[in-house]
Amino acid sequence: MKAFLDACRHAIGAQYVLTAADETAAYLTDWRRRFTGSAFAVVKPACTEEVAAIVRLCHQFHVPIVPQGGNTGLVLGSIPDASNTAIVLSLTRLNRIRAIDSVNNTMTVESGCILQNVQQAAADAGRLFPLSLASEGSCTIGGNLSSNAGGTAVLRYGNARELCLGLEVVTPQGELWNGLRGLRKDNTGYDLRDLYIGAEGTLGIITAAVLKLSPLPKAQRTALAALRSPDAALRLLTLAQMRCNSALTGFELMSAFCLTLVGRHFPQMHLSFREQHAQYVLLELSDSESEEHANTLLEELIGDALQQDIVQDAIVATSLAQSAALWDIREHIPLAQAAEGKNIKHDVSLPISVIGDFIRSTDALLQQAFPGVRMVTFGHLGDGNLHYNVAHPEQETDAGFMAQQTTVNRVVHDNVHSFGGSISAEHGIGALKHEEILRYKSAVEIQLMRAIKQALDPQNIMNPGKLLT
Amino acid sequence: MKAFLDACRHAIGAQYVLTAADETAAYLTDWRRRFTGSAFAVVKPACTEEVAAIVRLCHQFHVPIVPQGGNTGLVLGSIPDASNTAIVLSLTRLNRIRAIDSVNNTMTVESGCILQNVQQAAADAGRLFPLSLASEGSCTIGGNLSSNAGGTAVLRYGNARELCLGLEVVTPQGELWNGLRGLRKDNTGYDLRDLYIGAEGTLGIITAAVLKLSPLPKAQRTALAALRSPDAALRLLTLAQMRCNSALTGFELMSAFCLTLVGRHFPQMHLSFREQHAQYVLLELSDSESEEHANTLLEELIGDALQQDIVQDAIVATSLAQSAALWDIREHIPLAQAAEGKNIKHDVSLPISVIGDFIRSTDALLQQAFPGVRMVTFGHLGDGNLHYNVAHPEQETDAGFMAQQTTVNRVVHDNVHSFGGSISAEHGIGALKHEEILRYKSAVEIQLMRAIKQALDPQNIMNPGKLLT
């Protein structure tokens, strides 16, 4: 590998080819610190041409490549395996905002740009880049696109896929595909863009993208509604969509137990409802007109829902601080969960209409198999995306329960599948679920995916062992 | 071929395997009656299983397949070539609405459903299926998806691609891929859905789809604004997006000459502007609240635009009849054009911000090369999609001008390309532009497309000669 490394050093400068253990360590462990892989080098090109030069060398020397952005993924997609045969190709030096066009409502960014910087550059131009997720201070837009990231604004703006008009990609042969088109309509061939989006770096390396921007909303309003059941939450969702249409930008379901956990571990976050309710919905409206208009819209919606007995009680935030406090509760659920002990987590999606049935039915199956388990169920109900997490029974230990993870996953995922859902709504497959999808996808689908992988990366050097095996 | 036809008859019934010239004729000529191809049979399966059975026979006997829906395409994509070696596989008997889910806001339809019937079924369930185009009374949803159709609602709702969540596809080997998922989030592998969408039947046959539905708007309002230039229209577009956001559902540009033609050939359609203006914009708002709210929104927008000197004059429709009359003018442009004589038409898209420059620059190049040509420029400005049509000089004959079509196309398409645009915004490639795209796409992109085609259809039996050659 000396010849390969020397050629890399020649191509991008010796200081950007890291081989010392203390320099490479940060690139080899995943975000949740569940696995540490091994790479014989971490290579950090500065621009698209340098990426292409490195990939050509990998192609020539048959060196597997693990592309990496902010390394914040949750499915071990951006770290190498233990074989020490691959390089990590870090895109973080490709961090330029290349252009912003506020009339076309697009921006062209390099894939190593941190999501928060992309959001900020859009805001500086008076526009909204709506993709937003917990790791936005560290994750990169290239990683967001490669994993088709979701987040909190999917209900209104779609996933990362729907926010991208064009891509620049380095192929596994080190060739450059310039698909950086800022067009809303272009019917001139196969949709390569959407093939690379969500491919988790297994078909090529995204080096830049043209992103879609939206107008900045003039006002945002938040409310927390208390309801009897997930089915009532579905009725509220339909009512909100009919009345508010695209002004509805957030619709998050949380069970009572989620709020109990938050109250237990963060006692300063208490809710002022007079009684305990079974379910809560955090809903957010974004308005293009005015504060007053947003207020009226939200108050009329809640009033109507109370009158129709869909909602039992509600808190409407009357200030930005109150609104932030409501979101804070939602965002503290994972933290409260962690404080309570280990959890077996599931990132699933379902047809929205069956979510009530799915929760009832899966809860029952789990109680039968694991009496006393405690369900921490919350998620982006408006997108059909549930974080359906299972906490151990009060009397059981963390370790004892976690040993049964495979069985718990099987119960949940089998039921997701039977309800027509997906076992990975927004986190992807990576090295964590590539065997699981073999159970749920048809042989035809796996064969089609393999044919595409084989056609575009016949050497199998792009992120091998991820997504498909 | 007797053995093949007998097997087809056995599979789907002899009466659905048409070979007599008078029975097949309707399937062999394109919508604009520019070309008549030849097929040794037209085969009309009734359901997905029958489609798969026919395709397996074609695979076995190496018979090329031309999939056909409503046969309303504009690029010769749905008719066979002259070789008489292919069958036409008509999907029109697959015309069931399989399911409507008004909580998940989805419907599952077979690909042979006529678009208007899909719209109607959605409306009957109190929902909107927003895809809308001139041929909606004849085109099928399968054809819409295979060509990623655009139409008049793209600005708000996106192309056909953005309106589809899942597909059922018969592969070129006659296998069935069931990807009929009604999910907003699903990150479990390569995006096969978007690969089949827009592939013009060259990778497989779409037999059914899960479509996304939206709330029905409560009110729609239309206005016609008179402006000095396309640049003023761009300023109006930005203003309208900032003020109205997703309530803006239509934004159509028309030059003065377009309206002159309409007035000349349809004298009953006159506009009541006191003076002649250079450009006109037809804009439409769809409101989820009320008639009053829509009125206020539109009046304030127009008032602001007049005050900022973006708009010179405006007609705001105060009734549904007035609104329909304004849309009528827009929709009569192609008819007025046809009445005036032959035209060389272009369906192009551009980054919205360069449209003013593109029109100025291309107009000048054409006047230089063909003095006296008359530009009939209109289109979906909000999507960057121009119907940039060139009518012959007053003194020249139709025939003399049409003989120069290739040269005119070259001037226009070269300039589209240099402005970063697309030579086919919404009509696709078919058998009409497959050589043209070789000029504008990079070798890398063509090679990627060919690799995918080869991987999924190695026998090249799916719609050969279309899209890629």
The DSSP string of A453-468 is HHHH-TT--BSTTSS-
Query: For residue A62, with 0-12 CB atoms within 10 Å meaning exposed, 13-18 middle and 19 or more buried, which class applies?
Result: exposed
CB B456 within 8 A of CB B203: yes
Amino acid at A329: I
The whole-number pLDDT of residue B390 equals 96
**ipTM for the complex shown:** 0.97
A interface test, pick of B147, B168, B187 with most A CB neighbours within 10 Å: B187
Rounded Cα distance between A37 and A362, Å, is 35
Rounded Cα distance between B290 and A10, Å, is 66
Closest by CA to B191, choosing from A66, A185, A160, A439, is A160
Residues in chain B, pLDDT under 70: none
End-to-end CA distance of chain A: 26
**What residues are paired with A224 via a beta bridge?**
A282, A315
Tens digits of residue pLDDT in A287-345: 999 999 999 999 999 999 999 999 999 999 988 899 999 999 999 999 999 899 889 99
Q: Where are the alpha helices (DSSP H) in A62-157?
A: 115-124, 141-146, 154-157
Q: In this structure, how many other beta carbons lie within 10 angstroms of the beta carbon of residue B137?
A: 11
Rounded Cα distance between B240 and B237, Å, is 5
Q: In this structure, how many other beta carbons lie within 10 angstroms of the beta carbon of residue A110?
A: 24
A interface test, pick of B292, B448, B452 with most A CB neighbours within 10 Å: B448
Rounded Cα distance between B174 and B48, Å, is 10
How far A271 CA lies from chain B's nearest CA (Å)? 30
State the average pLDDT for chain A.
96
Stretch 38-97 of chain A: residues touching chain B, C-beta under 8 Å = none
The whole-number pLDDT of residue B396 equals 87
- For chain B, the domains span 2-90, 97-215, 219-334, 341-427
Local structure of residue B217 (DSSP, 8 states): P
Amino acid at B105: N
Stretch 153-192 of chain A: residues touching chain B, C-beta under 8 Å = 154-155, 158-159, 161-162, 171, 175-179, 181-192
Query: What separation in angstroms does the CA of A220 have from each of A132, A316, B243, B446?
Result: 15, 12, 15, 45
Query: What separation in angstroms does the CA of A64 have from each of A12, A89, A146, B25, B189?
Result: 18, 10, 17, 55, 20
**Three-class DSSP category at A306:** helix
How far B131 CA lies from chain A's nearest CA (Å)? 14
CB B191 within 8 A of CB A194: yes
Residues 6+ positions from B194 with CB-CB distance below 8 Å: A191, A194, A195, B161
CB A101 within 8 A of CB B351: yes
Using CB atoms, pick whichever of A155, A176, A183 lies closest to residue B351: A183
Q: In this structure, how many other beta carbons lie within 10 angstroms of the beta carbon of residue A313?
A: 16
Tell me which chain A residue has its CA closest to the CA of residue B421. Answer: A183
CB B344 within 8 A of CB B408: yes
∠ CA B118-B178-B204 to the nearest 5 degrees?
A: 80
Local structure of residue A392 (DSSP, 8 states): P
A interface test, pick of B190, B231, B452 with most A CB neighbours within 10 Å: B190
A349 contacts on B by Cβ (under 8 Å): 183-186
Tens digits of residue pLDDT in A88-103: 999 999 999 999 999 9
A279 touches chain B (CB under 8 A): no
Residue B321 CB-half CA count within 13 A: 0
The whole-number pLDDT of residue B141 equals 98
B178 contacts on A by Cβ (under 8 Å): 442, 444
Using CB atoms, pick whichever of B155, B195, B468 lies closest to residue A195: B195
Query: For residue B171, with 0-12 CB atoms within 10 Å meaning exposed, 13-18 middle and 19 or more buried, which class applies?
Result: buried
**Token pair listed for A95:** 């961090």
Tell me which chain A residue has its CA closest to the CA of residue B103. Answer: A353
Stretch 259-278 of chain A: residues touching chain B, C-beta under 8 Å = none
**Token pair listed for B101:** 């889910």
Rounded Cα distance between A272 and A283, Å, is 17
Architecture of B2-90 per CATH?
2-Layer Sandwich (3.30)
CATH number for region B341-427: 3.30.70.2740
Residues in chain A, pLDDT under 70: none
The whole-number pLDDT of residue A398 equals 84
Closest by CA to A396, choosing from A404, A408, A387, is A404
Total residue length of chain B: 469
How far A450 CA lies from chain B's nearest CA (Å)? 9
Fold of A219-334: Alpha-Beta Plaits (3.30.70)
Tell me which chain A residue has its CA closest to the CA of residue B458. Answer: A451
Residues 6+ positions from A443 with CB-CB distance below 8 Å: none
Using CB atoms, pick whichever of A215, A349, A455 lies closest to residue B185: A349
A187 contacts on B by Cβ (under 8 Å): 147-148, 150, 198, 422, 424-429
Q: Where are the alpha helices (DSSP H) in A86-206?
A: 115-124, 141-146, 154-157, 192-196
Rounded Cα distance between B189 and A148, Å, is 10
A366 touches chain B (CB under 8 A): no
A453 contacts on B by Cβ (under 8 Å): 190
Subunit contact A426:B185, Cβ cutoff 8 A: yes
Strands A205-212 and A343-344: unpaired
Stretch 186-225 of chain A: residues touching chain B, C-beta under 8 Å = 186-192, 194-195, 197-199, 203, 214-215, 217
The whole-number pLDDT of residue A179 equals 98
CB A230 within 8 A of CB A359: yes
Q: In this structure, how many other beta carbons lie within 10 angstroms of the beta carbon of residue B238?
A: 18
Query: What separation in angstroms does the CA of B99 have from each of A170, B106, B110, B237?
Result: 42, 8, 10, 38
Residues 6+ positions from A60 with CB-CB distance below 8 Å: none
**Token pair listed for A443:** 């042989």
The whole-number pLDDT of residue B65 equals 98
Local structure of residue A347 (DSSP, 8 states): E
Amino acid at A301: L
How far B428 CA lies from chain A's nearest CA (Å)? 5
Using CB atoms, pick whichever of B181, B199, B349 lies closest to residue A184: B349
Subunit contact B183:A104, Cβ cutoff 8 A: no
B310 contacts on A by Cβ (under 8 Å): none
Subunit contact A188:B421, Cβ cutoff 8 A: no
Stretch 447-466 of chain A: residues touching chain B, C-beta under 8 Å = 448-449, 451-456
B421 touches chain A (CB under 8 A): yes
Query: What separation in angstroms does the CA of A448 have from each of A19, A53, A291, B154, B195?
Result: 37, 30, 50, 30, 11
Look at the block and give the residue holding tokens 């915004």.
B425
CATH number for region B97-215: 3.30.465.10
Total residue length of chain A: 469
* Within this chain, domains A219-334 and A341-427 share the same CATH topology: yes
Look at the block and give the residue holding tokens 């955090």.
A282
Q: Where are the alpha helices (DSSP H) in A332-460?
A: 333-340, 355-369, 398-402, 405-418, 436-440, 443-456
The whole-number pLDDT of residue A20 equals 97
Rounded Cα distance between B159 and B153, Å, is 8
Buried b / exposed e over A413-433, threshold 16 CB at 10 Å, is bebbeebbbbbbbbbbbbbbb
Q: In this structure, how many other beta carbons lie within 10 angstroms of the beta carbon of residue B277?
A: 20
Rounded Cα distance between B437 and B442, Å, is 9
Subunit contact B351:A148, Cβ cutoff 8 A: no
Rounded Cα distance between B241 and A9, Å, is 49
Helices (H) and strands (E) in chain B, counts: 17, 19
**What residues are paired with B75 via a beta bridge?**
none
Subunit contact B191:A352, Cβ cutoff 8 A: no
